[in-house]
Amino acid sequence: MDMTQLFNSLKRGEVGRLYLFYGPEDLLIREAVGRIKEMLIPASMEQLNLTVIDGNAATADSIINACETLPFMNERRLIIVNNAVFSPSARKGFTKEDTEKLQNSFGSLSGHTCLVITTKGSPDMRTKLMKTFKAVGNMVEFGKLKPQALEKWVAKRFAGFGKRISPAVLKRFIELMGYLGRDSDKTLEGVANEIEKVAEYCKGRDVIKKEDVETLAPENLDTNIFKLVDSIGGKDISKAVRLLEDMKRSGEPPVRVLFMVARQFRLLLQASYFKETGYSGRAVASKLQVPPFVAGSLIRQSGNFTREALKKALKECGEADVRIKSGRIEPWIALELLIAGL
């Protein structure tokens, strides 16, 4: 079961007996758990029919006992185990004996019980426990949202604050968030915080404008690298050096900055080739495995360089990498010389 199937089943009023939620998007996991809780347990019945167990201190016996307790004046009981630890090598979490007991109990959960277990990261699907879970329960991975789903989620979030945002401004907001970047570690938690910040900034107005999101957008490495390469293409050395200094002050590792600069030039070279051979913007996005608005930006930015200049930039990035890793030059000085040379 994936996230879409889960939320669709909940919309239909269908709540199963056993769920395992995992993945990096804690916010979506909390939303799913909250929705199940609202559907099964009236607020007045929480103390009697809701059990929340800390996964770090959980034992198989405590979970099984909670599952075997009958609901009181309610159709079902809900047991939530937060942040369960399934690795037997961990200092906290389930022992080998615990996992065996849980495995034996999962198939016999009664209809009056709903057990929801959440865990950090991705559990080892090769274990007997996970195979049993998959056979008798619902395993749902809460991974990063795809572009279209993200747009709907962000628009809905703004609507929750009574704000409207046009498709163009919505795309600009998402671009500035850096969530969809291939190497981005940004989660929806951070995006939600930025949405709230923009909504508060626009207090008294219903419509979010492009200037609003650009004024409040946090600087992220993807955005800064794009600006840096733009300034190189525009021969604006002072802006390029200023951006490099900003990255240095923000604590970005210089080797990662170099990797991202090289990656940007590689994408520009590929975008330039695909554009010249007649590919549409959407086709370029598919080929490069980036969102369409990113592909459009790459196509635009590639126009600032000749094909030979892009190849030369990639070669010089490689040479700078060798000089840094061999200890022949201090990393930030290498980056400054690279940018000045380009």
- Which residues have CB under 8 Å from 33's CB, separation 6+? 21, 80, 116, 118
What is the tens place of the pLDDT at every residue in 40-81?
A: 999 888 889 999 998 887 888 999 999 988 999 899 999 999
Could you tell me the CA-to-CA distances from 113 to 74, 75, 196 in Å, in that order? 11, 9, 36
Residue 217 has pLDDT above 80, yes or no: no
Amino acid letter, 95: T
Which CATH fold topology does 3-141 show? Rossmann fold (3.40.50)
In sequence order, what are the beta bridge partners of 18? Answer: 115
Q: In 3D, which of 137, 175, 121 has the Cα closest to residue 298?
A: 175
Chain center to CA of 206 = 28
pLDDT at 192: 92
Q: What is the pLDDT of residue 241?
A: 85
Q: What is the pLDDT of residue 55?
A: 82
Phi, psi of 114 (to 5 degrees): -130, 115
pLDDT grade for 92, boundaries at 50, 70 and 90: low
The token pair that represents 157 in the structure block: 């979030």
Mean pLDDT in residue range 306-310: 90
Predicted confidence at residue 236, as pLDDT, reads 82
pLDDT of res. 100? 86
Mean pLDDT of the chain: 87
Encode the chain in three state secondary structure. CCHHHHHHHHHCCCCCCEEEEECCCHHHHHHHHHHHHHHHCCHHHHHHHEEEEECCCCCHHHHHHHHHCCCCCCCCEEEEEECCCCCCCCCCCCCHHHHHHHHHHHCCCCCCEEEEEEECCCCCCCCHHHHHHHHHCEEEECCCCCHHHHHHHHHHHHHHCCCEECHHHHHHHHHHHCCCCCCCCCCHHHHHHHHHHHHHHCCCCCEECHHHHHHHCCCCHHHHHHHHHHHHHCCCHHHHHHHHHHHHHCCCCHHHHHHHHHHHHHHHHHHHHHHHCCCCHHHHHHHHCCCHHHHHHHHHHHCCCCHHHHHHHHHHHHHHHHHHHCCCCCHHHHHHHHHHHC
Whether 132 and 107 have beta carbons less than 8 Å apart is answered as yes
**Distance of alpha carbon 42 from alpha carbon 44, whole angstroms:** 5
pLDDT at 293 > cutoff 80:
no
As beta bridge partners, residue 53 has: 81
Nearest-5° Cα angle at 319, 317 to 323: 115
Tokens of residue 166, six digits: 């046009």
Joined tokens for residue 24 = 């990096």
pLDDT interval class at 198 (50, 70, 90): very high
Residue 260 has pLDDT above 80, yes or no: yes
Q: 295, 271 in Cβ contact below 8 A?
A: yes
Question: CATH second-level architecture of 151-216?
Answer: Orthogonal Bundle (1.10)
So where are the chain's domains?
3-141, 151-216, 221-341
Structure tokens at 248: 């240095």
pLDDT of 90 higher than 60: no
* Domain 221-341, second-level architecture: Up-down Bundle (1.20)
Look at the block and give the residue holding tokens 């554009």.
275
Tell me the β-bridge partners of 19: 116, 138
CA distance 91 to 57: 11
Q: What is the pLDDT of residue 141?
A: 94
113-167 pLDDT per residue, tens: 999 999 987 888 888 888 888 888 899 999 989 888 999 999 999 999 999 999 9
With bands split at pLDDT 50, 70 and 90, how would you rate the model's confidence at 91?
low
Q: Is the separation of the CB atoms in 235 and 201 below 8 Å?
A: no
The answer to whether 145 and 191 are in contact (CB under 8 A) is no
